[in-house]
Every structure is written in structure tokens, then in C-alpha cells.
A = this chain, B = another copy of it.
């Protein structure tokens, strides 16, 4: 799955900033690849990109029109079709991160054929994967894992990759979810892969590489998340990580969307993730804790990170507030 920037980001009639996770991800991490945003009249939110019409975006060189919003049910409503069709007629590829598929809408399929553009449903892998071999691969791999979903795994992974690039260390960001795929321009949405092939898909995503090369792999879910832990475990086994970074969020008492479940203890999460990771890579080490401290003030954030660092014997940082330097140092000495 390869995408073609630059992008025109379509927000539809979104009124909730949280529904713009895809649009905001690409605007935050690959602003230079974004021409602008396109909205329906009822839209009340923005990514901060210039507001354009479809025609203006095409004139300014956009190659791909991205459905950058989500909605309940993930439906491609009829109200979105006029802009999508116009974009196709302007020669733009369409990227869709909703559950519904563009390729299930016959009028879009025939229009896309006519204008020779691609309809790309990035949640739905098109490759046929093999089951995992479990065989050791060359090169090094880091994977982020979490105490819960939505704790900052993608952000942490991208921050580590950027910091490695700044230090001229040979690395590739490997995307495993829709927002990451949009940022990387390629990847596999592992939660949409048939379960027999989770680990095999991750093996294919992170193949043999040079000895000094790091694949920096976006994690998904959590071993402690009762709905998605299977995805997480398949991802851990397929990644064969040399290094794990545990991501955590402060002041969240219950697992996201799971009012009967509390977040695990950090040391318990370290131990269980390492137990599983060492099945396919016995050399795996936990190299740091990444904490989303957004809920507390600067001073408390520092104190909590110090405390977690003392409890775990590992560097602990908030990538947004403190960067990831200590974590990378630990990773490179491993």
C-alpha cells in the first residue's frame, strides 16, 4: 500500500476535533505534504491548514484527496460523494480511512477507472499475507507497546524515528495503523488483517535489513486490553523486537471504552510484554517508558517520570515535554 503526496485533506462536516485523528496526524507530522483542507459548509473544526476548494487543491498540485475524518459506524455518507467525485474528476487519488470501502461504491469505481486514479481503502489490506515463519531476521527492531489503547504509541514511535534520523542513524518508521500509514505513505493496518496472518503481515512489513538498521514499529492496542490484545500479541511476535518502549498515560483509571477494567501496573506490563517478545527474540529488552503527562502540570510530570524511572530502572520521558533522548541512549547501548 503506497500513497502519493501531496495531500488535500477532506474534513467533511466534522464538528468534533477528536474525529479528525487522521487529518490532524498528517497535518502535524507531514505538514510539508499537505496542500490544504477541504470542508463541507457545516464543518466547525480545522487542522490549521489553508482552506481550499477541490479545484484549488488540484491547481496547487495535490495528488491525493484524503478522507481525514471518522464518524460513528465509519460510513461513507452520500453527502461526501460530490467532493469525492470532483476530486476524482480533477485526477486525484482518493485515500479512505473509514470502515466502509470506496471500492464498494460502483459509481466511484467507474469514475476512478475513467479518470485513471486509485481508490485506496487503507484500513483494508489488499496483499495476501503468509503465516509467520518465526525465523530470525537481520537488522534491528524497536516496537512500542502500551498499558492501554490511545496512550501515545504512534507519537512515541514517530518521535523516536525522528530523533534517530537527526542523529543520522539508519532507521525506518513502520506504520501499523491508518494514521501511521498516511504519515509513512505505506504500511499495514494490522487490526484489519485476518487473524491467522497478523504475525506474518508484520514479518513482511519489517523484513531482513542491514545490521545497523532500525525498524521503528508503531504498536497497537495492549496485552491488557480485553478486545484487542490478540492484535498486540501477533504484532509483538511478528516484529521480533530487539527493543520495546512501554507507553503509558497519566490520570486514566479505566481502560479506554472498558469501564470494568483498570490499567495494569507498569512493572507488570514490562514483564508480560518481555515474556512474549522473548519467544521470537530472546535478546529483547525494555529500553524505556514513554508517558503522556498531558493531564498534569510541568512539575508533576517531571516528578512522576522520575518516580517511574526509579521504580523500573529505565529512562522515563514524555516525548512531547522531554523528548526521547534518554530512551534512545538506552536503546543504542543495548
A134:B226 contact, CB within 8 angstroms: yes
Identify the closest chain B residue to A224 (Cβ).
Answer: B279
B134:A258 contact, CB within 8 angstroms: yes
Q: Chain B's nearest CB lies how many Å from the CB of A148? A: 12
B233:A230 contact, CB within 8 angstroms: yes
B227:A233 contact, CB within 8 angstroms: no
Interface-centre pick from A192, A234, A237, A272 (highest chain B CB count, 10 A):
A234
Bound-state CA distance A131–B258 (Å) is 12
Q: Which of A50-78 contact B (CB under 8 A)?
A: none
Interface-centre pick from A224, A229, A230 (highest chain B CB count, 10 A):
A230
Interface residue? A40 (CB, 8 A) = no
Interface residue? A275 (CB, 8 A) = yes
A235 proximity list for chain B (CB < 8 A): 230
Contact with B along A113-141 (1 / 0, CB 8 A): 00000000000000000011111100000
Contact with B along A129-167 (1 / 0, CB 8 A): 001111110000000000000000000000000000000
Q: Chain B's nearest CB lies how many Å from the CB of A270? A: 14
Interface residue? A199 (CB, 8 A) = yes
Bound-state CA distance A200–B231 (Å) is 13
B191:A195 contact, CB within 8 angstroms: yes
Interface size on A, residues (CB 8 A): 38
Contact with B along A166-195 (1 / 0, CB 8 A): 000000000000000000000000111111
Q: Which residue in B131, B194, B223 is a CB contact (below 8 Å) of A193?
A: B194
Bound-state CA distance A258–B114 (Å) is 48
Bound-state CA distance A227–B135 (Å) is 10
Bound-state CA distance A195–B228 (Å) is 8
Interface residue? A260 (CB, 8 A) = yes
B230:A261 contact, CB within 8 angstroms: no
Task: Knowing A195-B193, A198-B195 are in contact, say whether A231-B230 is a contact too (CB < 8 A).
Answer: yes
Q: Chain B's nearest CB lies how many Å from the CB of A281? A: 10
Q: Chain B's nearest CB lies how many Å from the CB of A262? A: 11
